[in-house]
Structure 1
Amino acid sequence: MKKKKISFPKIDDITVDNYEEYLSVFYRAIGWNGKCDLDPKYISINKNRWKEICDDFNKTEQCGAGFAWMNWGPTADEDTPYDKVIIHKEAFTQPQNI
Structure 2
Amino acid sequence: MKEFLVEITTTIPDGTSQDEIDQRRAAERERAKELASTGHLARLWRPVGELRSIGVWLADDEDDLRQNVIGTLPLSVWMTFKVTPLQPHPNDPGPGGGGQG
**Global fold match (TM > 0.5):** no
| Structure-1-length-normalised TM-score | 0.30
More strand by share: 2
| Structure-2-length-normalised TM-score | 0.29
More helix by share: 1
